[in-house]
Amino acid sequence: MSQTQTLWWASESFWKKMAIWITAASAVVLIFLTFDTVAKITAGGKRVPAYSVINHRIDYVFDEKRNHQVPVIGPVEPLFGKVLSEAEAKDLVSKGKLTTQAKNCMNCHTLLGNGAYFAPDLTKSWLDPAWGSKEVREQLMVDFLMDPSDKLHNALGRRMPKLGITEEEARATVAFLKWMSAIDTNGFPANFKPIDQADAAPETAPPPVESAPVPAL
Ligand code: HEC
């Protein structure tokens, strides 16, 4: 075989064209993926809820079909007792997010799994049973963020330092943490047991049945 009879798939011009086509096709795919990702991570979408989700109860329950836990948006349960408009909620959550950046919470914590492993992941900290009860937690969280140095919050044994967070910043941070707990993270963190948020049984409920007969005196 002479050198001039190069096979088509071994010719230089074929590979030049291939390079151009593959680059062009990859660019189209990347542009599509960029728009698709932006749609998925923008607040107000299916996975990242609108900021006004902080007006609602947020739970984290097992979904049989998806085989992991998913956030469930429940009845109206406003943060600090006040229902906010979408714009007001956005302002508050954004302020909280800026606070977490300014105080570098990621230096010790992870948020949505990103950050350092010195302190607990904050993705579901709004739902941490360690706060005690759903009614008191928002104030406890504000108090904790403003001065955690004298409080040992869970069994970790490490203390969080006082970071000079004002009450306004602390409230905004709690709003940010509540909003973050409503993000669908494909089951991260797994096997997380959320705080019990069931409402107290109504007064009219029948008294519990005695299981053992009361011994006669
Ligand atoms: C120097 C390290 C450090 C920094 C910075 C830090 N934390 Fe912490 N944080 C901790 C430690 C340690 C704990 C566990 C404390 C405990 O259990 O008493 C903790 C606990 C918490 C908890 C309770 C978590 C839960 O679910 O039980 C929250 C909420 C929290 N931090 C929020 C924040 C926020 C918001 C910031 C940034 C404004 C921040 N932390 C910055 C070290 C830090």
d(CA 72, CA 184): 9
This prediction has a pTM of 0.86
pLDDT in tens, 169-217: 999 999 999 999 999 999 999 999 999 998 866 666 555 655 565 556 5
Please tell me the predicted confidence (pLDDT) of residue 152: 77
- For 51-181, CATH gives 1.10.760.10
Give the SS3 label for residue 217: coil
Please tell me the predicted confidence (pLDDT) of residue 205: 56
Determine the distance separating the centroid of ligand 1 and the alpha carbon of 65, expressed in angstroms. 34
Percent of the chain residues past pLDDT 70, beyond the cut = 90
Please tell me the predicted confidence (pLDDT) of residue 130: 92
pLDDT of residue 148 exceeding 80, the answer is: yes
Which alpha helices (H) appear in 69-128, and where do they start and end? 86-102
pLDDT of residue 166 exceeding 60, the answer is: yes
| Residues having CB within 6 Å of any atom of ligand 1 | 99-100, 103-105, 107-109, 118-120, 122, 125, 128, 130, 145, 152-154, 156, 158-161, 163, 165, 173
Provide the pLDDT confidence category of residue 75 given band limits of 50, 70 and 90: very high
Structure-model confidence comparison of residues 2 and 161, the more confident one: 161
CA 178 to chain CA centroid, nearest Å: 8
Give the SS3 label for residue 71: strand
pLDDT of residue 25 exceeding 60, the answer is: yes
If you average pLDDT over every residue of the chain, what do you get? 91
Q: Which residues contact 106 (CB under 8 A, 6 or more apart)?
A: 100, 114, 115, 116
Q: Determine the atom of ligand 1 nearest the C-alpha atom of 107.
A: 5
Please tell me the predicted confidence (pLDDT) of residue 154: 78
Kindly state the average pLDDT of the residues 153-163.
86
Q: Determine the atom of ligand 1 nearest the C-alpha atom of 151.
A: 18
d(CA 51, CA 55): 9
Kindly list the domain boundaries of the chain, sorted by start residue: 17-46, 51-181
d(CA 68, CA 190): 7
Please tell me the predicted confidence (pLDDT) of residue 201: 64
Kindly state the average pLDDT of the residues 24-48.
95
Supply the DSSP string of 88-101, one letter for each residue. Answer: HHHHHHHHHHHHHH
Task: Identify which of 137, 151, 149, 145 has the alpha carbon closest to the alpha carbon of residue 170.
Answer: 145
Structure-model confidence comparison of residues 29 and 10, the more confident one: 29
* Residue of 98, 109, 145 best suited for mutating to test ligand 1, as the one with most atoms within 8 Å of CB: 109
pLDDT of residue 74 exceeding 70, the answer is: yes
